[in-house]
Structure 1
């Protein structure tokens, strides 16, 4: 049987396509005609996140075959008939999609959009095809941006209105998910007062973004916890000024909790504990190290973790258990804010980044797995 005819007005490009059985290939694909609220973006850089790795393995919401990528930046090539927010030539950073119309979006809580799953994990029938004319899923997180040209939902675009060089725009590729999640957990959710006690579990891009944001709040104590000596060693010293680093590898649960409480002036514990890992034991430690009126925030994702909370302890101590998606960030507000902070020298997220060629995704994944890099960026 001959292969189906490709869609008319197709746009050819190359993209990283996840196939079943954890196969990941750089393939020629083509897009169909733009839907009214879709945009084509010439990608200058795409950032690798652990969620991309999980998705390639078939353990996330949208199953292979699909085009990976949900953190990127580039220039608008063309727009659908109803697009008004961006125009060809605009520099954009790409983030998750939201509808902009539901009750949550109207409240400014776009991270909790009522159509979040549909817009980010359902794709669109007929949007992208491979060389055999077979469909591959696109619009992952509204963008599937690990491509030289990406088909993107308009609501995934964050326009950079200030002058921006191509080199600077490449670095901004990392802001669309992990970085805004970690920073947003501090800036939008915790909002700690000066002199607060804060512990961050997990020294990846999310956790270190939270640390950078927390340093700006002038905490009494700021602690970073991880169990990888390799990872802790490679963190730029510029990011760790005033931060107490704890390697938890050799510590039992009780020892870790006691150590964290002991790092506070009165030994009572932390005001804010951010779990950027999603591991059950980590969440339990975060909970147990809290002082009265403290808050533990679930920032790292997990489908299986079942942490143990004590109702009586919550009640008597006034504790808060709080999840946060994307750091409660509205990308069109948060990303320009992070860019402004970076340009002012107060949020040096570029210290997290390691550059790879666009063809070197497998190398980037390998280096991520073994802890040689924190945040890989693929340059097109």
Structure 2
């Protein structure tokens, strides 16, 4: 039977909570009763029509909840299971076959088209007037009271989990695993490394939480917003140096960063969580020999320039990453385990809003007054 619920639909000129009707799940789809969904800037871009998937579409790509029903070929989860939702992958291509799901060869099709797959699909997702709308944003479109989700987007939470904890876990599906994964999966810095993180948003602060666990010799957080730097919980900044770059020139910022490293040598790892070309270039020129720039933030218009001679002679690495190279069914349980041990207090990044307060949550996030909004049922 079709499922009638409410979801946030982004249109070309509006964003509102509207009635929607989901058809029965396809063979590889599930229905999830959402308990919470967090926001990241990709939701803002999608709502403005500047992301790959264009309106009208149901937003949301960081959700958590309980399985309501499953398609005929679903084997990973069953009704009643607690799940965290992340991006979708096919699970069978040459990338997925070697644990590289973030680079799945069908990633764009499964996450950014909003089209359902499977034989004998019973209808489409429609709004209150019966017009079709795109769902399956990042395989889930979780800003809905009930979401239609690809099975491959589900990460099952093993063991007992309370509803309050499951709400928190909603934030792990994209931005948090991206920042933490950049450290744990790619940089893997040895003890005493010099690390700088550009950008004090949710991705950058998740990277900061991970970097603190690697026993760095120098750990620097850089942002051009004093408001953002001031609202970071103090316990996150223990043994962290901060730089407000708002009034610093390109050369002064590089000099300031190097002054914060042992013997003024520069950085071993620089994480650009912003995506602006000036930030990427500052990260690059702050590196010590054999250093790495890891670009995490993205912009279609940014075109940073580098010195090929310096890159060669210094043995530098310029590396991008999608989702922090994270395999969600591996990475998310690992982050939960670290959280349960008190090692990864990502909940300090969260600010709760009622599910009906998406507009206010977006405004607070765009204004830099909250780090990670969490919409709870």
Do both proteins adopt the same fold according to a TM-score greater than 0.5, normalized to the shorter chain?
Answer: yes
Secondary structure of the corresponding residue to residue 360 of structure 1: helix
Partner secondary structure for residue 264 of structure 2: coil
Correspondence 1:201 to 2:198: yes
SS in 2 for 1:266: helix
Q: 2:232 aligns with which of 232, 235, 254?
A: 235
* Aligned partner of 2:33 among 20, 27, 42: 42
Q: Distance in 2 between matches of 1:123 and 1:38?
A: 13
Q: Which residue of 2 aligns with 1:376?
A: 373
Task: Give the counterpart of 2:6 among 10, 14, 19.
Answer: 14
Matched-pair contact (CA < 8 Å) for 1:143–1:152: yes
Deviations 1:16-36, CA, capped at 9 Å, x for gaps: 000112x10100000112110
Which residue is equivalent to 2:119?
Answer: none
> Structure 1 segments of 4 or more deviating over 4 A?
none
Residue 49 of structure 1: CA displacement? 0.7
- Per-residue deviation, 1:266: 1.1
Q: Deviations over 1:105-129 (max 9, x none)?
A: 0100100000000000111255310
Distance 1:104 1:24 in 2: 36
- What is the root-mean-square deviation of aligned Cα atoms in Å? 0.7
Partners in 1 of 2:358 and 2:47 — Cα distance? 12
Any stretches of 5+ residues in structure 1 without a counterpart? 1-8
Distance 1:241 1:304 in 2: 35
Aligned to 2:248: 251
CA distance in 1, matches of 2:303, 2:230: 30
2:101 to 95, 110, 117: 110
Q: 1:84 aligns with which of 66, 72, 75?
A: 75
**TM-score under structure 2 length normalisation:** 0.98
Task: Indicate which of 180, 186, 190 corresponds to 1:183.
Answer: 180
For the 8 Å contact 1:127–1:138, the answer to whether it is kept is no
Does the alignment pair 1:122 with 2:119?
A: no
Aligned to 1:5: none
Q: Deviations over 1:233-261 (max 9, x none)?
A: 00001111100010000100000000101
| Corresponding pairs, count | 371
Measured in 2, the distance between the counterparts of 1:133 and 1:375 equals: 34
CA distance in 2 between partners of 1:82 and 1:330 (Å): 22
Matched, 1:351 2:342: no
Looking at structure 2, the residues matched to 162 and 193 of structure 1 have their Cα atoms a distance apart, in angstroms, of: 33
Distance 2:64 2:23 in 1: 21
Secondary structure of the equivalent of 1:162?
Answer: coil
Partner of residue 137 from structure 2, selected from 140, 143, 156:
140
* CA distances 1:45-70 after superposition (whole Å, capped 9, x unpaired): 00011100000000001100000000
Q: Is 1:213 aligned to 2:206, yes or no? A: no
How far does residue 162 in structure 1 lie from its aligned partner after superposition?
Answer: 2.1
